[in-house]
């Protein structure tokens, strides 16, 4: 089985860059939301995400795109070390599913929870998925390497 997702050819990296007000040259993506609200027990804390971002940005030249639908990404960005915040781009509620798919074609890797972005990312890029406080789930079908971490599973 080879998973796929069709993306319209009129959705380009340039058009997305204009929409988010930034054109990152080398980046990874984080999808911190589980899709059912900020109080979802499957979500990691904003402090954990900020720690991950601080570690990766301080040891690389990568930028990070935070993707979601709520203000959680901004709360995470606020916790990132001040000198690194210019490399954190909050795309939350600014881009569509098709635009996310296009970005996953260009990203180095994605960090996700058990959510739709996990399955979408696995089609186009290397993916690290954290299954937190959830039953062991069906592993994603992936065209690229997928690393799954289970934490505190029920």
How many C-alpha atoms does 75 have within 13 Å on its Cβ side?
Answer: 14
Confidence grade of residue 149 (pLDDT, cut at 50, 70, 90): confident
Q: Residues 45-61: pLDDT tens digits? A: 999 999 999 999 999 99
Q: Residues 99-123: pLDDT tens digits? A: 999 999 999 999 998 888 998 999 9
Q: Cα(19)–Cα(22) distance, rounded to whole angstroms?
A: 8
Q: Residues 59-90: pLDDT tens digits? A: 999 999 999 999 999 999 999 999 999 999 99
- Cite the beta strand spans of the chain per DSSP E: 27-31, 63-66, 88-90, 109-113, 126-132, 146-151
More confident residue, 109 or 139: 109
SS3 153: coil
**Distance from the Cα of residue 42 to its chain's centroid:** 15
SS3 17: helix
DSSP 149: E
């Amino acid at each position: 089985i080879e998973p796929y997702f069709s993306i319209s050819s009129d959705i380009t990296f340039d058009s997305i860059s204009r929409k988010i007000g930034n054109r990152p040259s080398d980046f990874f993506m984080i999808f911190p939301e589980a899709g059912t609200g900020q109080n979802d027990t499957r979500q990691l804390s904003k402090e954990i995400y900020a720690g991950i971002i601080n570690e990766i940005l301080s040891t690389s030249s990568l930028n990070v795109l935070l993707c979601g639908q709520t203000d959680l990404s901004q709360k995470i960005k606020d916790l990132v070390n001040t000198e690194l915040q210019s490399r954190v781009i909050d795309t939350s509620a600014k881009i569509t599913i098709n635009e996310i798919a296009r970005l996953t074609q260009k990203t180095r890797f994605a960090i996700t929870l058990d959510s739709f972005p996990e399955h979408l990312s696995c089609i186009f890029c290397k993916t690290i998925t954290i299954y937190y406080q959830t039953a062991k789930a069906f592993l994603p079908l992936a065209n690229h390497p997928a690393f799954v971490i289970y934490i505190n599973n029920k």
